[in-house]
Amino acid sequence: MEFRYLGNSGLKVSEITYGNWLTHGSQIENDTATACVRAALDVGISSFDTADVYANTMAEQVLGNALKGERRQSLEIFTKVFGPTGPKGHNDVGLSRKHILESIDGSLTRLQTDYVDLYQAHRYDVETPLEETMQAFADVVRQGKALYIGVSEWNAEQLRAGHKLARELGIQLISNQPQYSMLWRVIESEVVPAAEELGVSQIVWSPVAQGVLTGKYLPGQALLAGSRATDAKGGANTIKRWMSTEVLTAVQKLRPIADDLGLTMAQLALAWVLANKNVASAIMGASRPDQVADNVKAAGVQLDAEVLTKIDEAVRDLAEFDPRKTVSPEQREA
């Protein structure tokens, strides 16, 4: 495993982060989820990402149980706050002081830890003054419940404003967690330049485009039973934008590129996002332990300029680049 600094801080994270969105407490049984976490630890992954909203708090609980007994100082545990949790009442959502201070305590209990290394604003909250949100985060840090602050899916303007307030409050906002892959490149023109200017890293989610970039979905063929594209609990909805014949055909052009490098297509996709120097880590999910052992081999892979050009020629025309696609909810929905 290789490690990178997270933003302009002294904190190092593993190039591959194990994440449990859409899996723990939802798609797979707890025993399998625990086996995946153990596999991640076995291959040197030290960074683990979750959120209170995943499976309505169950994902945090499963992760906490799976990591129980591990040396806490050897791990980097990330979680997030914003989405509706619990009975989804009128204050069970957003980035108000009330929701943040109550949510961090709930997350720590479920994760069975005294602190998280990174506490992230899961989306930007247009209904709460940013000053209130950042003051609440500062209090969480001063209470020792989080070491650093991050955000997720914030645009460049929001990132600059949040970073400015964090500095004024004496805390470190060091990361953003956006969607990023060969097919979803909306952060490249505005968010990444702003982040580089501010000393903020990206921890990217969906680097294999919900599984499409693994090459397992073939144009014109039936969907694989048990795959995310057939998951009625949420997976099918998140992947549907990539399931056109045009996209699936273009993705197959990546196979010979991966073969020439001795990589799987999933490893190629992960190595591609890590080629962006502003990316500190790529989040990888798994429904089987063997997927963890296979995909982690992308860590440390260097793609040269010629390979990056070939990848662009294969899929660039079908990728999304519009920075306006980085959007937070216009209003909270409990």
**Phi, psi of 157, rounded to the nearest 5 degrees:** -65, -45
220: left (phi over 0), alpha (psi -120 to 50) or beta: left
Given a contact cutoff of 8 angstroms between Cβ atoms, the answer to whether 72 and 112 are in contact is: no
Residue whose token pair is 């052009």: 253
Which H helix or E strand runs over 17?
Answer: strand 16-19
CB crowding 118-138: b at 16 or more within 10 Å, else e: bbbbbbbbeebebeebbbbbb
Catalytic amino acids?
54
Using CA atoms, how far residue 323 sits from 155, 184, 190, 191, 239, in Å, is 8, 10, 7, 8, 20
User: CA-to-CA distance for 252 and 242, rounded, in angstroms?
Assistant: 13
Burial class (CB in 10 A: 0-12, 13-18, 19+), 331: exposed
Which H helix or E strand runs over 175?
Answer: strand 173-176
13 bridge partner residues: 4
Given a contact cutoff of 8 angstroms between Cβ atoms, the answer to whether 177 and 205 are in contact is: yes
Given a contact cutoff of 8 angstroms between Cβ atoms, the answer to whether 64 and 19 are in contact is: no
Given a contact cutoff of 8 angstroms between Cβ atoms, the answer to whether 157 and 198 are in contact is: no
Angle between helices 156-168 and 191-198 (to 10 degrees): 20
